Amino acid sequence: MKLVVDTNVLFSFFKKESKTRKLISNFEILEPITPSFCIDELNEHKELISEKSRLSDEEFEETLDDLLIFVKVFTLSEYRDFLSDAKTLSPDPDDIDLFALALKLDCPIWSNEKAFKKQSKVKVFSTKDLIAFLSETRP
């Protein structure tokens, strides 16, 4: 199942035993995708993520490398044509890229941002929603 993954979900990958990490790293269930700006955001918040996850700089870099094994990253040029439609859907200008990529790939967004659900064109799963959905649809 393809999913466009928001930065707030990717943050949780850095917690070693998180459900998010287990989901993202399971190739059989999910095909996580993200715009390149989300990876930039992770790097911008490296200190905060490292502090909250109790990771050294080296462990942060290793974990980011692991994340990039599982998550396919798209550049702006790959979904640029969908930005204008995405502007009408996204509750925040900073999140337009997520909606544009979801429109391009015709897939849901995985985000814990409640405001994303105020539109009805793109399906949005919170982590809790996704776990419930997968438990209903997977043996």
What is the assigned CATH class of domain 2-137? alpha beta
54 has pLDDT over 80: yes
Q: Band of the pLDDT at 104, cuts 50, 70, 90?
A: very high
Cα distances (Å, whole numbers) of residue 60 to 16, 26, 56: 11, 20, 6
pLDDT tier, 27 (very low <50, low <70, confident <90, very high otherwise)? confident
Q: Which distant-in-sequence residues (6+ apart) come within 8 Å of 65 by Cβ?
A: none
Distance, in Å, from the CA atom of 139 to the CA atom of 116, rounded to the nearest integer, reads: 29
Choice among 3-7, 28-32, 121-125 with the minimum mean pLDDT:
28-32
Model pLDDT, residue 10:
97
Complete DSSP assignment for 48-80: HHHHHHT--HHHHHHHHHHHHHHSEEE-GGGTG
Q: Starting at the edge strand that comes first in sequence, how are the strands of the sheet with 2-5 ordered?
A: 72-74, 31-35, 2-5, 109-110, 124-125
pLDDT(138) > 80: no
Give the confidence band of 139 by pLDDT, cuts at 50, 70, 90: low
Please tell me the predicted confidence (pLDDT) of residue 19. 92
Q: Where are the domains of the chain?
A: 2-137
Residue 133 token pair? 């959905």
- Tens digits of per-residue pLDDT, 65-103? 999 999 999 999 999 999 999 999 999 999 999 999 999
